[in-house]
Structures are given as structure tokens and as C-alpha cells.
Structure 1
Amino acid sequence: MTGGGKRRSRAAEPAGEQCDKNGDVKKRRSGQAEARDALQQEAETCYQLRLPEDFYQFWKFCEELDPEKPADALVSSVGLTLVGPYDILAGKHKKAKSTDVNFSLHWRFFYDPPEFQTILVGDSKTQYHMGYFRDVPDELPVWVGANEARKSCLISQVGDNVFAAVKLFLSKKLKEVTDKKKNAVLKDIDEKLTRTAKELGYSLEQKTMKMKQRDKKVVTKTFHGAGLVVPVDKNDVGYRELPETNANLKKICKAIVDAPTDDERLKAFAPIQEMLTYVQFANDECDYGMGYELGMDLFCYGSHHAAFVSTRVGGGMKR
């Protein structure tokens, strides 16, 4: 057979040449690992928040789908873009014109409380986005939530890790898409995601046992529905209920917003002023959860009139 010269086997290569190649590969991998570790540390330093392992594993998954642009790996097929702290992993922060970036507000939507950290965005019309929800700032997230900022402040639970959240999103997308080619692409991604999640040991349930256990600790749902977990001791010190139901509090807020004059608005503020007095009493007796709830509700209502009060009772919550 012409032109069929035998390829020299790897075993036949000089030992020194093999060692050099192996050494180069190890150095390259070591360099890549160090660069990745540096980016991870930078992401957590910028946000001053610990990020869970699934955050980084999902980035690796997207790198396999699109090595060049992992953040956009799901855009054309699924309709999701990796944002927020993923921008650090993508190196986008280095291209920013301003060096004075407030990462606490980076990709934060109108109704997002400080506890909610955006990591994925979808439909811009509804401002759909997913993010990690934390009960305590210096602890890991308790679950992943989703919100449509154009519609309301409601935050829905979509799993305890980003794989589960995207899996749920994919499942809904598969039911909506009728085009066979697009459906086939979605199924392929769904299968890859499911396989990767199982290999890594992540649950794909929308509501895990750990999430259900957390629900038992919730003292109040609040306007956003995600609930607040407040430390309460054995003597029930830490939280006391507001004197108004959520429905009544919304009516009070509406009356403030709809008031035709400043005088009428001041009158409409009277019930809020009374609640602020109750909050002061509660704080004096270490029931700090009451002010936390009132501040969160006023923040989530969305009016700048109510938000002004929320900064006084909710630990400085600002948009």
C-alpha cells in the first residue's frame, strides 16, 4: 500500500521526549487550575459572599457546551444567560469602563431583596431571572429562586442548586417548543445536564428535604413569598407578628400611594407610624424579626413612599 508508512507508537518515542510532553501538560493544567482558583476567589471577594460548589460546577458544564463563551452557552437554545458573579468568571469585570462597581447591585432587579443574588437571566420582557437566596449573608444559599420583575415581587423556589433550577426551566421549555429541531437541541442539553448533575450528586427536585426543613423555620412569608427565617430562642424571643395581615398592609400601602394630596398621604401613613412604634417596642425586647418583616414588606411593595420607611426599619434596604 503506497503512502502507508507506519506511525511510530508512543512507546517507541524517546523517554526524554515523553517526559517533556507530560511535564508541559501538567504545567498547563496546573496553570489553568491556578487561574480558575484566582477567579473563584475574586468572585467571592467582589461580592463578599460565599458561592456554593454547584455555581462553579455549572460553569464547567457550560464550558463544555461552549468553551469560547460559557456565559452564552444556553442563550440561543434555552434562552438563559449566565450573569452576576458569572461575569467575574467570564472576565467581563476587567473590561468594565468604571472600576468603582457596586457588585451588591450588579444584575439586581427592582424587587430583589438583598438576600437574592441573580446568577441567570431569561426573557427581558418579563425580566425573568434566577438567583441564590440566603437567610444569612455569611452562609451558603438555602435555595435557588426565580422572579419576573415586570410582574411582581414574588420569588418562587426552583431547587436547591442551579442544575435543578435550569432542569425545571428546561422541562417547561420542552412542553412549549413545537419545532422538532429546537426540541431535539433542548432534549440533548437536558440529557447532558441530567447526567452531569447525577454524576456530581446534585438533586434535581424542585423541593428537596432540606428546603422543606427550612420552610419549618420560616416565621412569616412576607410579600415576596420566600419567607423570613429569624433566630428565635427557646423562650420565643426573636420575632413577634405584625398587627396587620399582608392583605391589610397592602391596602395601607395602596392608600399611601393613591393619596391625591400630601395631607391625605400623611393621614394614610398613620397606621404605618403606629406599626413603627410597635417595632421600637419589639426591638427593645429583642424581637428584631418584626422590624425585619415590616421593612421587607414595604421594600417589596415597590413604591418610593413605602421604600423610604423601609430604609428606617429594614436594616438600610435600598434600591
Structure 2
Amino acid sequence: MEENDSGKPTCKYGGDCYRTNPQHLEGFWHPKKGKRKGENQDSDDEDASVAKKRRSDAAEPEPGISGDAETKSSENYEVEEIDDGEDKDIDSSVESQDSARPATPPNLGPREEIKWKFTMEMPEDFYDFWEFCKSVNKKNPQDALKASLGLQLVGPYDVLAGGLKRTSQSKRSSYCLHWRYYYDPPEFQTIIRGDDTTQHHLGYFRDEPNEMPVFVAANSAKKNCSFSAQGDNIFAAVKLYMDQLSKATKDKAEQNKIQSLHKPLIDWAKKCGHSLESKTQGMKIREKKVVTKTFHGAGIVVPVDASGVGYRELPETDANLKRIFKKIADSKNEAERNTNFEPLDEIISFVQFANDECDYGEGYELGIDLFMYGSSVLHGTIRNILPLAYTLLRREEFGKILEAHLEDRRKDDLSML
């Protein structure tokens, strides 16, 4: 084995180190890789080749390099088949057209079916709100808010309505993609959609996949990637939306239409014991646990011990990160992109060191920021960073949702129905 007589510290990744940053190469000693028979390149060429391949693996296979996200087909996306049953009311012809998803196990109650299809349990306010909407429109609860507020119940509510029993036209590989908007992170689950112009929608935001949501958030996907808290339950979120809509509406008839739901909603929420405050004490406590806001603004929470182990800041500001991502996304060819990738490679090196020292939050932050930036050119890099962060944080369910979403990330045509 080659000895280190350079006086420099040995790089922890040895001859397999992919980093090409001059400062790193000057500061650490790297053993040369042994040449195989027929090999004429020196170790520097090999290191450059490894770095180039890594960047190539990080980029999505697409016809050209663009900052715009591409809609990708998921017809060949493989999912685990379920052997213990099929939806009883799906005939064989429907099943053959809908073969991208595993069949739902039989004899599941509504709550169990929602958990199986969307991988997470819904809180009690989810079901209480369904009963409220049934009191407004018994025949079609999903449209109970449509005429007055322009809102429609979607996502897991389609299970309660029986809509996801027959989805023959859908080839999406996972139920978690049903009404998953372009910027929806794995932590977010859409339950109410608004207008198609701004793609305003409401949903539950969670810090842990096996725990109940921490609040209801709102996003307008056609505008930006920002998510804002609207209350800790759906009643509070809809009331806030109702109040904002009423203030913005000048027409008296439209105001009366909006206000027609005001008292019934408040009464139902009180009867069920749900707060109508837009910011509760629990939400304030959660705010204190947020280690960083990230690009989406809702913040991330990771376990941090008394000595501070669990999270360390990224070595770049949000503004600089966006500039780095933009240069990569806007690159005109592979050579230019490889050059523009170098600052991001250096940041990833810091993330690797952080992971080794149990500061898993740094990789989590970088992965979320990459996702929220929105360029499909960065999807490969996201796959290299964020699923690992979820695994290290024991949030594997979020990783599965992320993988499915990156495989079929759309800006439109979001419903499976």
C-alpha cells in the first residue's frame, strides 16, 4: 500500500474520492489507484472520470439541458405486487389498464384503505370535516365548498367518496401521487384543491411520517414553492381562507354566498372540539424546533441533542444556493454543466462529513432546497442526497414518496380519476 509522505492529512475517501475542487486536492493526500492491465490513464484522469460520471448520474436523462421540469412517463415504473387480493369492484379489463399500481388488499375499512394507499393516517379533523361537508351537500360532499368558496375535497377524500376504486385511465405508479402538485414535498399531502389558474391547494404538513400532521399548509404551485401554515386542522384553514376571500370580494352577492358557510363551519368545529385559531400553541412550540426554513418556508425539524449534534448549517446562503442551482439548470452543454456543478460538489462534500458526524439535518436541508428549486436537471442529485437523509432520520416513507414523485413529477393532470 502506498505510504503518505506528503505531510498532508489523508483524504477519508482515499483513491475513490470524486472531488475535483483544487482546495480539497491541495489540502489532502490521495493515494494513487492501482492501474489495471491495459490502462494508460493516471490517477488524476481517473479522479476526473469519477467526478464526471457522478455528475452524469446526477442529471436526469432528457433530450436537452433545461431549467424547466419535464413531465415523465411512469408506465415502466416498477412497484411491488400485492398477492393478498384485489379491489373487488375492479373488473379484469380495468385491472389490465391500471397495471402500474398494485391492487388494494380486500376488506379494508376507509381509514385502513387511506393509510394503505397514502402510507399515512389522517387525523380526526379530516373525518370530521367530511361529515360537515356531508351536512352541506349529502349527495356530493366533495363539492360542498365549490359554489361558495371554489374549493373541492380531493386526495384521500376520494377514498371516502369511492372514486379511487376505479381508475382505469391512470398509469401513475403510486397513490401518493394523486393530487400531488409539482412543489409538494413528501411531508405534504393535498386534501383540498382550489383554482387551476394559481393551483392553490391545502394539505397536511408532517415532520414525521408515522405521526399526525403538525399543521395544514397552503401553496399556489403556479406562483411559487412557498408553503404557509393555515392552522392545525382543516376547519381553521378553511375558515382563514373564507375570511380572506370575503375581504377580497367586493360583490355583495358573492360575500353573502361565502358567509353562508361561516356559521355552520364554526358550529361544527366547536362541536367536534377543533380550534379555529390560525396559530395554536402547538404550532408555536413547533416553530421553536425548526432548525431552518428551507426554500419552501415551512421549515424542517430534526432531532438535535443537547450538544447540538443533529444539524449544522449549509456553507452557503439561500441566495447563493439559488445562484448555483440556476447556473447548473441553465447550462448549455455537458462541459458547462460539469464546471457549474463544482460548487455543488463541494457542498455535497460537507454534507457527507456532516452525515458521518450524525448531523443529518444538513443533507436534509440541501435535498429539500434542491427539490423546491424545481429543475428536473437536479433530480439525479436529489436522488443521491434526500432519500439517504430520510433513511438516516428514520423517515423512510417520505423517501418512497419522493422516489415516486421524481419518477412522475407533473405540473398538470394531477388526478388519478
Which consecutive residues of structure 1, in runs of 5 or more, have no partner in the other structure? 1-36
Q: Match for residue 366 of structure 2? A: 294
Distance in 1 of aligned mates of 2:129 and 2:173:
25
Shift, 1:184, TM fit: 1.6
Evaluate the alpha carbon distance shift between residue 99 and residue 312 of structure 1 in structure 2; reply closer, same or farther with a 3 A threshold: closer
Quick check: which one's helix share is greater? Answer: 1
Amino-acid identity (%): 53
Per-residue Cα deviation, 1:54-111 (whole angstroms, up to 9, x for no partner): 0000000000000000001111111000000000000001122159751111110101
Q: Match for residue 17 of structure 1? A: none
Q: 1:194 aligns with which of 263, 266, 269?
A: 266
Distance in 1 of aligned mates of 2:166 and 2:367:
36
Work out the number of aligned pairs and report it: 283
Evaluate the alpha carbon distance shift between residue 141 and residue 218 of structure 1 in structure 2; reply closer, same or farther with a 3 A threshold: same
Distance in 2 of aligned mates of 1:96 and 1:289:
38
Q: Please tell me whether residue 209 in structure 1 is matched to residue 264 in structure 2.
A: no
Conserved 8 A contact 2:111-2:121? no
Q: Please tell me whether residue 166 in structure 1 is matched to residue 256 in structure 2.
A: no
Per-residue Cα deviation, 1:2-52 (whole angstroms, up to 9, x for no partner): xxxxxxxxxxxxxxxxxxxxxxxxxxxxxxxxxxx9222211222120110
Flag the structure with more relative contact order, 1 or 2, with Cα contacts below 8 A and sequence separation at least 6.
2
2:319 alignment partner, SS class: helix
Q: Please tell me whether residue 181 in structure 1 is matched to residue 286 in structure 2.
A: no
Distance in 1 of aligned mates of 2:227 and 2:293:
11
TM-score with structure 2 setting the length: 0.66
TM-score with structure 1 setting the length: 0.86
AA partner of residue 138 (structure 2): P
Q: Please tell me whether residue 45 in structure 1 is matched to residue 111 in structure 2.
A: no
Distance in 1 of aligned mates of 2:296 and 2:363:
16
Which consecutive residues of structure 2, in runs of 5 or more, have no partner in the other structure? 1-107, 388-398, 410-417
1:249-264 → structure 2 map (5 Å cutoff): 249-264=321-336
AA partner of residue 44 (structure 1): K
1:111 alignment partner, SS class: coil
Shift, 1:200, TM fit: 1.7
Shift, 1:276, TM fit: 1.0
Distance in 2 of aligned mates of 1:157 and 1:87:
24
Let me know the Cα RMSD of the aligned residues: 1.5
Evaluate the alpha carbon distance shift between residue 39 and residue 99 of structure 1 in structure 2; reply closer, same or farther with a 3 A threshold: farther
Distance in 2 of aligned mates of 1:176 and 1:270:
47
Distance in 2 of aligned mates of 1:180 and 1:249:
47
Q: Match for residue 346 of structure 2? A: 274
Conserved 8 A contact 2:312-2:359? yes
Shift, 1:307, TM fit: 2.3
Residues 210-219 or 200-209, more deviating: 200-209
Q: Please tell me whether residue 79 in structure 1 is matched to residue 155 in structure 2.
A: no
Q: Match for residue 306 of structure 2? A: 234
